[in-house]
Structure 1
């Protein structure tokens, strides 16, 4: 099953944006010393790498100013391509055939006299991704009361003989999604960390909205899971730099592949 990436890639970027916006700063004068790099490689999509300055802790924006005028290159181990600055701080390459499973991709550029680099291996696309159902009725009795979270609404499975990392992203496609818990500040879209499993049970109370969802299974690398775990454990009282795989910088450069299953959620 194929999937339109542009509509949900912003969800992944938003997760990382929150993590990197909490980078610890000790001296305002050193904020711009090392760049923040955000790049996700997904086969079938144009390559896009964003580069920002670090932001001061008093700044309310997700990132600092975009860094322009850089010369970014990307190597797949046998050939190297140059990225073009298509917007301020956004560097792209449109040849989709450059990305392939099993290859190691290395990003490089120079900033403030330092060589900035990062590498990531493109995983294979998930195989045999299935769900026990695609229509889920959310009974009122399963949403409250003792033992409510013990009821499994749906089970996802996929092949994972090598214990690779996976996350499940749920994206609601309804323009006017209906919140079945109006008294809660419920998340419409959400991410579940499946870690290195070959399946995942999702409980009824995990779903807060009815409507049409895409359940997107991402096969990811450890650098992405490190960011996800760091974001889950960070608080306003714990402003530390999140993990990064960027040498001489901050942020994340990671390759991933995905498959999707469409779900319809109703309530009775």
Structure 2
């Protein structure tokens, strides 16, 4: 009888502790910090932290930057980064403190509203055997600033392109393990010249465009996706699964997600390693 009585007391105490734990770990809407950090080999750590948007029935709320945190990132190579708050929610490592090589694991830790925020990621290997089937294309400049539009048809572009062919540029790489990759294209000219000059008052895309992360080993760029003449970097990123999950869930940024996927304990957003290879590409003017 004493054993049964003692067991009942122990079980009751355990339930009490579980109840206390559940109460103490409840995080109210809007109290999780949102993190954006992409760790690349031989680069400084740069990390953004801001507040979750506390949606309510009456208003959508706003997100604000979080400054003044004490953030530590520890590597499996023994190096520790104590990030410095530089304003606008941005935290950086020192100039001589660079992310290590592939397969290095990094752990993030900091306190926010009395809770420990933590995450871990590994730097993936560099993309393998990245190739491009052509190194340049030619485009015809189209000026819409006067309000006069070229005739439709003949080029496959938004306004026909004056009979210009929409050339395909094929990218390939080795990917036997079906790791996630995505492609980004950046114009590297100091003063880039637009291929399609917009009508007065209109705005067109910036110097960079990307595709979604895929587990394949090839991708196609279309010549009419390029918005500027001149030199470009075609960058193939190798990314971890947490990046792909967040991209597929949001389509934009982690800030506008109501129930986002995340690997961050007591937080939201992304803390992930990336690696990349870059090829050069030229868009010439006809």
Normalising to structure 1: TM-score of the pair? 0.74
Are positions 1:265 and 2:263 aligned together? no
Q: Is the 8 A contact 2:192 2:228 kept in 1?
A: no
Per the alignment, in what secondary structure is the counterpart of residue 115 of structure 1? strand
Matches within 5 A, 1:196-215: 196-215=215-234
- Equivalences for 1:142-153 in 2 at 5 Å? 142-143=156-157, 151-153=166-168
From the superposition, tell whether residues 155 and 51 of structure 1 become closer, same or farther in structure 2 (CA, over 3 Å): same
Deviates further, 100-109 or 78-87? 78-87
Look up the match of 2:193. Answer: 177
Aligned residues: 232
Q: CA RMSD in A?
A: 3.1
The structure whose RCO (Cα within 8 Å, separation 6+) is larger is 1
Match of 2:51 among 45, 50, 53: 53
Flag the 1:232–1:152 CA change in 2: closer, same or farther, 3 A.
farther
CA contact (8 A) 1:180 1:210 kept: no
Which runs of 5 or more structure 2 residues have no equivalent in the other structure? 1-27, 141-153
Aligned equivalent of 1:191, options 180, 194, 210: 210
Partner of 2:72: 73
Residues 33-57 of structure 1 deviation map (CA, whole Å, 9 limit, x = unaligned) = 2111111111111112222223456
User: Partner of 1:18 in structure 2?
Assistant: none
Q: Deviation digits for residues 100-141 of structure 1, max 9, x if unmatched?
A: 211221111121121111111110111221111111123673
In structure 1, distance between residues paired with 2:284 and 2:156: 13
User: Structure 1 172/231 Cα, relative in aligned 2: closer, same or farther at 3 Å?
Assistant: farther
* Pick aligned residue for 1:243 from 248, 253, 261: 261
- What is residue 228 of structure 1 aligned with on the other side? 247
1:151-177, Cα deviation, whole Å (9 max, x unpaired): 542111122121111111111223233
Note the residue ranges of structure 1 that are not aligned, 5 or more in a row: 1-28
Cα distance between partner residues in 2 of 1:265 and 1:205? 10
Q: How far apart, in 2, do the equivalents of 1:41 and 1:227 lie?
A: 16
Choose from 156, 165, 171 the match for 2:171.
156
Offset of 1:212 from its aligned partner?
2.1
CA contact (8 A) 2:139 2:283 kept: yes
Highest Rg: 1 or 2? 2
CA distance in 2, matches of 1:71, 1:187: 37
